[in-house]
Amino acid sequence: MRKFGLIGFPLSHSFSKKFFTGKFQNESITDCEYDLFPIEDVNSLPELIAQHEELEGLNVTIPHKLRVLQFLDEIDEAAADIGAVNCISINRTQGKPHLKGFNTDAYGFESSLLPMLDVHHTKALVFGNGGAAKAVKYVLNKLNIPYLIVSRNPDQDGLNYEGVTPELLKDYTVLINTTPLGMSPNADTFPEIPYDALSDKHLAYDLVYNPEETSFLKKSKNRGAKIKNGIDMLYLQAERSWYIWNTQ
Query: What is the rounded CA–CA span in Å between residue 4 and residue 204?
Result: 34
Give me the catalytic one of 3, 17, 65, 134: 65
- Annotated active-site residue 221? The verdict is no
Catalytic positions are 65
